[in-house]
């Protein structure tokens, strides 16, 4: 009697070849588009894009299991068709970048929906929401005290995002959803996207769009409290790797860890209290750290259960790519954290390969790397399309050279922001956790990603206080994790340690008794400006005169006085929107501040009927890079060049730090030839100081 025939397993080779062909077609179409968008850029960009996409296609075609090949082949073929359509399109670059922006958001939404659908349905726990509410209350109380005592005006990036939120609230109030969506997508390629302002703006549309209280309450609830919870989760995870029982008082430990995160880096919360939403990126940063560890754990599993492991690897990779996309979209400089994560993932995979040798999951690793690369390139496609015509315009190491400060000055700033006691405690905690933890992977990821991000950022510019969010996960989690372990064994001692940390970093008392720079001072509310009454007088004076046909402008770029300060005085009595429908209706001109960023003095300066000029000339960066402020300011004060077209009115506003804002009025018109001559004098001034400066002299 013949045995029943066993059906032979069909080869997946045809499917792999089809997927490979679709991937190579995608690579070819991308290279063609890159060549079309940057015809003067040579073969660099097309070759790099083609190489990356080809590597991803080969990796996926070789490593995916047979059942997963058809949907990936279809997706790759669809992507190739989209790029081919773009190749033949005659749309301008900004329209094409926006189209790719919509595509990136649609892809992110589809992946997020699929990930949510794949999760096991559980009843949502109320405890984390309760902790977020408590954190929001604590941060809100701190912010109220900080703002009330400092009476600080929001400036620079701080006011930029508040005004972006006001713009979003205005569009939502008016029901202009199409304009809002188009504006958001268009901003995806900007250095300052609308992403941080979107949620607060929508919340403000339902309350008071001009209110600082409404704005800050929104970012505290939507960003600050969840970020504090994310840092607490990271500290708890590190503590569990060092021996904390998983079932030990979960909410008590999270609450303690959140308090430790607040107290370990209160300057980061002070930045939030001042109105900067950047802390929201920490939510995605911490999620990316935890997902990276989970991905490495899957790759490090021993052989077996491949049918279950492979889909999990893809799922975690997709979630990780989404987190990276979200944090880079939120604030562009979180890309340094993404770089740190990518390098640490590669290093950790290498370590796993050395340990596992023949048992290393090469196929799953190849799938994760290829799939992640493909998703990141898809998510970054709007920026790639926008940057290709002029990559030098995004050479930030040159453009932001003006923002570099000498190391002694930067070191003093770091001591103001962090002190030396807390970082020293973090280093000691890191050593203790290293010695105690049998599983150090998350420890290495957290510290390594922060160190790489910091080193890469320092290659571009000297950080400002909000950029320290790049190292905040390491700083806060390394402080919180040992505290949680202490809490498990000696609750009273843990409470006393947290109280000591709070006293050190959130009160002025320890700093008065301790050695210099022992505790951070940037988290304490600074004294109010001494010239607030004079600023109020300036506001009334400007509002009585400034019109689109009688523009009142300012020359200067320091905290004491800047051209932007005139536009920011509306905060003193926010009854009218600071936004205008177009440039022609503005009663002032936005002046250039930094040579390598904004180029020569704004030619629209010629329309300024009244000019307020800082005396002495006001700069806030390396003055060698601020000739665009210095040259016109000196001419105005000396009555030469453009200053010959103005006269002093006798009105002077006396500001803090012995700075005066001297008022001039135009007595004869300036024309384009005057602006061209001013730009030429600016170039000559740049040449006299450009011996060792980086960055181009803008045309």
HSE, CB side, 13 Å, CA atoms: give it for residue 49: 26
pLDDT in tens, 634-655: 999 999 999 999 999 999 999 9
**Full 3-state SS string of 85-124:** HHHCCCCCHHHHHHHHHHHHHHHHHHHHHHHHHHCCCCCC
Which 8-state DSSP code applies to residue 361?
Answer: -
* Residue 65: pLDDT over 80: yes
Cα-based angle 191, 594, 188 (whole degrees, multiple of 5): 10
At residue 6, the pLDDT reads 42
CA–CA distance from 575 to each of 151, 204, 208 (Å)? 18, 15, 11
Domain residue extents for the chain: 13-90, 127-387+399-513, 532-689
Q: How far apart are CA 181 and CA 130, in angstroms?
A: 32
- In whole angstroms, give the CA distance from residue 570 to residue 567: 7
496 or 403: which leads in pLDDT: 496
pLDDT tens-digit profile of 561-576?
Answer: 999 999 999 999 988 8
Is the per-residue pLDDT at 619 higher than 90?
yes
Q: What DSSP character marks residue 525?
A: P
664 forms bridges with which residues in the sheet? 611, 648
- Per-residue pLDDT, averaged over 190-195, amounts to 92
| Residue 94 CB coordination number (10 Å) | 12
Distance CA 468, CA 450 (A): 10
Burial of 381 per CB tally in 10 Å (0-12, 13-18, 19+): buried
Phi, psi torsion values for 7, nearest 5 degrees: -65, 135
Percent above pLDDT 90 for the chain: 77
Q: What is the mean pLDDT of the chain?
A: 91
| CA pair distance 427, 444, nearest whole angstrom | 13
Exposed/middle/buried for residue 420 (C-beta within 10 Å: 0-12, 13-18, 19+): middle
Residue 618's pLDDT band (cuts 50, 70, 90):
very high
- Token pair for 679: 């730009």
Read off φ and ψ for residue 562, nearest 5 degrees: -150, 165
Phi, psi of 220 (to 5 degrees): -65, -45
C-alpha 517/C-alpha 411 separation (Å) is 11
Using the predicted structure, report yes or no on whether residue 699 has a pLDDT greater than 50. Answer: no
Distance CA 159, CA 689 (A): 32
By CB atoms closer than 10 A (0-12, 13-18, 19+), residue 691 is: exposed
Q: Is the peptide bond before 109 cis (omega within 30 degrees of 0)?
A: no
- Quick one: which of 125, 315, 144, 291 has its CA closest to 213? 144
Question: Which residues make Cβ contacts (< 8 Å) with residue 628, sequence separation at least 6?
Answer: 591, 592, 593, 594, 595, 598, 599, 600, 601, 682
Long-range pairs of 529-536 with CB within 8 A, sequence gap ≥ 24? 529/151, 529/152, 529/153, 529/656, 530/656, 531/654, 531/655, 531/656, 532/151, 532/572, 534/653, 534/654, 534/655, 535/153, 535/565, 535/569, 535/572, 535/653, 535/655, 536/572
Q: How would residue 511 be classed by pLDDT, with cut points 50, 70 and 90?
A: confident
Q: Is pLDDT at 143 greater than 50 in this prediction?
A: yes
pLDDT confidence of 92, banded at 50, 70, 90? Answer: confident
Q: What angle do CA 262, 268, 269 make, to 5 degrees?
A: 60
Contact 359, 303 (CB under 8 A): yes
Whole-prediction pTM: 0.93
Residues 6+ apart with CB under 8 A from 480: 231, 232, 234, 235, 236, 238, 239, 256, 257, 260, 261, 264
Structure tokens at 331: 């604030």
What is the SS3 assignment for 195? helix
């Amino acid at each position: 009697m013949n045995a029943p025939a066993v059906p032979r397993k069909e080869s997946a080779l045809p499917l792999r070849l089809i997927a490979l062909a679709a991937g190579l077609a995608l690579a070819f179409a991308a290279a063609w588009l890159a060549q079309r968008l940057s015809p003067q850029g040579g073969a660099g960009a097309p070759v790099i894009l083609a190489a990356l996409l080809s590597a991803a296609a080969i990796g996926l075609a070789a490593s995916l299991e047979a059942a997963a090949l058809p949907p990936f082949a279809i997706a790759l073929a669809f992507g190739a068709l989209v790029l081919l359509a773009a190749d033949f399109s005659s749309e301008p670059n900004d329209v094409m970048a926006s189209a790719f922006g919509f595509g990136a958001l649609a892809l992110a939404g589809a992946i997020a929906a699929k990930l949510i659908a794949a999760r096991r349905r559980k009843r949502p726990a109320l405890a984390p929401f309760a902790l977020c509410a408590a954190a929001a209350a604590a941060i809100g109380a701190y912010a109220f005290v900080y703002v009330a005592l400092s009476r600080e005006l929001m400036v620079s990036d701080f006011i930029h995002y508040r005004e972006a939120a006001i713009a979003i609230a205005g569009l939502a109030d008016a029901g202009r959803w199409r304009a809002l969506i188009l504006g958001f997508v268009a901003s995806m390629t900007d250095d300052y996207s609308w992403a941080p302002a979107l949620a607060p703006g929508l919340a403000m549309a339902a309350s008071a769009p001009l209110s600082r209280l409404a704005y800050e309450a929104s970012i505290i609830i939507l960003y600050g409290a969840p970020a504090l919870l994310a840092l607490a989760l990271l500290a708890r995870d590190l503590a569990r790797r060092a021996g904390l029982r998983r079932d030990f008082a979960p909410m008590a430990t999270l609450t303690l860890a959140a308090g430790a995160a607040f107290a370990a880096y209160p300057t980061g919360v002070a930045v939030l209290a001042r109105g900067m939403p950047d802390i929201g990126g920490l939510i995605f940063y911490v999620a990316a750290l935890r997902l990276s560890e989970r991905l490495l754990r899957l790759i490090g599993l021993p052989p077996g259960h491949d049918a279950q492991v492979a889909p999990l690897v893809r799922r975690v990779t997709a979630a990780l790519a989404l987190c990276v996309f979200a944090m880079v979209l939120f604030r562009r400089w979180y890309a340094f954290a993404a770089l740190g994560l990518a390098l640490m993932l590669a290093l950790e995979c290498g370590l796993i390969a050395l340990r596992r040798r023949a048992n290393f999951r090469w196929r799953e690793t190849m799938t994760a790397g290829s799939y992640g690369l493909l998703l990141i390139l898809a998510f970054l496609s709007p920026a790639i399309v926008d940057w290709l015509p002029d990559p030098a315009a995004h050479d930030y190491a040159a453009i932001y050279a003006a923002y570099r400060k000498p190391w002694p000055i930067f070191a003093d700033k770091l001591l103001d922001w962090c002190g030396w006691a807390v970082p020293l405690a973090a280093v000691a905690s890191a050593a203790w956790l290293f010695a105690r933890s049998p599983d150090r992977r998350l420890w290495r990821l957290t510290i390594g990603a922060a160190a790489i991000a910091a080193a890469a950022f320092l290659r571009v510019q000297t950080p400002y206080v909000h950029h320290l969010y790049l190292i905040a996960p390491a700083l806060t989690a390394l402080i919180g994790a040992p505290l949680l372990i202490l809490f498990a064994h000696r609750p009273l001692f843990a409470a006393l340690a947290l109280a000591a940390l709070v006293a050190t970093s959130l009160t002025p008392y320890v700093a008065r008794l301790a050695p210099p720079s022992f505790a951070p001072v940037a988290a304490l509310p600074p004294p109010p400006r001494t010239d607030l009454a004079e600023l109020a007088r300036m506001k009334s004076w400007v509002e009585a005169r400034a019109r689109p046909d009688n523009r009142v402008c300012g020359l200067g770029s320091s905290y004491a006085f800047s051209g932007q300060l005139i536009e920011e005085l509306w905060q003193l009595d926010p009854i009218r929107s600071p936004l205008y429908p177009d440039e022609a209706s503005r009663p002032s001109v936005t002046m250039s501040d930094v040579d390598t960023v904004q180029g020569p003095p704004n030619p629209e300066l010629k329309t300024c009927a009244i000019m307020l000029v800082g005396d002495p000339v006001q700069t806030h960066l390396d003055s060698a890079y601020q000739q665009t402020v210095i040259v016109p300011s000196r001419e105005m004060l000396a009555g030469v060049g453009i200053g010959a077209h103005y006269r002093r009115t006798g009105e002077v506003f006396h500001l803090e730090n012995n700075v005066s804002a001297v008022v001039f009025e135009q007595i004869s018109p300036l024309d384009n030839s005057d602006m061209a001559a001013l730009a030429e004098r600016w170039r000559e001034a740049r040449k006299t100081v450009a011996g060792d400066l980086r960055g181009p002299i803008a045309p």
